[in-house]
Structure 1
Amino acid sequence: MGLEKYISDVVTLDWDQHVVYEKLSTFKTFEALFSPENIEKVKSQVKDAPDFKIEDFEATDDTCSFKVGSMGRTGLQIVNREPSKEIKMTGNGTVPFKFTFWIQVLPVTSTTSKVRLTVHADMNMMMKMMVGKKLKSGINQLANGLQQIPFGNL
């Protein structure tokens, strides 16, 4: 097993740091966002959006679970919050490797912020070969997708 690190590009959001953090620091925010009709709407608006299908999204403030295509049910759990700056989460044990996922939010101005995503994944060589490229491109797609979220309307 080896620890792999995937870091997104830094993206600028047209939302205040506190608003972004408030919305991203609870999974309950995403229940409406991951409804089937909203997923299709996002896919049609985001250039190069990955073709994914999230179903049966369920959430509490600290945990969420969902089905992704043929992968089956999986989930996340928030393990640490640093108010207005960072959210740290991990898998709920249904992913075949251990990982930690960070969302870092920093202020730029009083109305804009920067976000960077980081994944640390403990994977064997076979798993790295299977999912490494997808994680590398997926983390940037996710960061770019954050720019499309209407944080003020969630």
Structure 2
Amino acid sequence: MAQYESNVKHVPYSQERVYDKLSDLNNLAAIRERMDEMREKIGDKIQDMTFDRDSLTLTVQGMNVTLRIIEREPCKCIKFEGDKSPIPLNLWIQILPVNENEAKMKVTIRAEVNMFMKAMVAKPLQEGVEKLADMLSMIPY
């Protein structure tokens, strides 16, 4: 089991607003609309994104990856599990208050990879978790 964590990102919105938006994936329409604006920052690795309340499907470098929410801890954490992903993985978004108008967040991915695969996927997963955290920190909540 390998674990990859983003740097802590500061978000100029309350913990509750961030959690409320991210805990219902239908609210991510704003991300899809802003993807073209964010291409410079996140690159061309994400080609397509579809979602409903509990799942998000991304096409990343030609591979479809579906993440499904498996647990919501109000205002603090949202946990996802990979569904139809090339490797078994879990992802969670932790949200902590800084003050009543600011929060900080961290994204973590835990993936089941053998030692051979670990060498190949370590860098892309670390970059992916960082880019996801960057993208989530740019959303207007």
TM normalised by structure 2 equals 0.90
Structure 2 CA distance, aligned partners of 1:134 and 1:79?
24
What secondary structure, in the 3-state scheme, does the structure 2 residue paired with 1:131 have? helix
**Structure possessing the higher radius of gyration over alpha carbons:** 1
Structure 2 CA distance, aligned partners of 1:142 and 1:67?
14
Partner of 1:117: 107
Equivalent pairs counted in the alignment come to 141
What secondary structure, in the 3-state scheme, does the structure 2 residue paired with 1:104 have? strand
After superposition, where does 1:69-148 map in structure 2 within 5 Å?
Answer: 69-71=61-63, 73-92=64-83, 94-148=84-138
Partner of 2:18: 20
What secondary structure, in the 3-state scheme, does the structure 2 residue paired with 1:139 have? helix
Q: Does 1:61 align with 2:53?
A: yes
Structure 2 CA distance, aligned partners of 1:68 and 1:142?
12
Structure 1 CA distance, aligned partners of 2:4 and 2:60?
21
CA shift digits 1:63-110 (9 cap, x unpaired): 122333322x32110000000000000111x22221111100010111
Structure 1 CA distance, aligned partners of 2:16 and 2:94?
12
TM superposition shift of 1:32: 4.2
Call closer, same or farther: CA 1:64–1:138 in 2, change over 3 Å.
closer
Give the conservation status (yes or no) of the 8 Å contact 1:34–1:54: no
For structure 1, the 5+ residue unaligned runs are: none
Give the conservation status (yes or no) of the 8 Å contact 2:65–2:86: no
Call closer, same or farther: CA 1:104–1:97 in 2, change over 3 Å.
same
Q: Percent identity?
A: 33
Call closer, same or farther: CA 1:140–1:67 in 2, change over 3 Å.
closer
Give the conservation status (yes or no) of the 8 Å contact 2:30–2:139: no
Give the conservation status (yes or no) of the 8 Å contact 2:13–2:101: yes
What secondary structure, in the 3-state scheme, does the structure 1 residue paired with 2:130 have? helix
Q: Does 1:39 align with 2:44?
A: no
Residue 66 of structure 2 aligns to which amino acid in structure 1?
G
Partner of 2:44: 51
What is the RMSD computed on CA atoms of the aligned residues?
Answer: 1.6
Residue 102 of structure 1 aligns to which amino acid in structure 2?
W
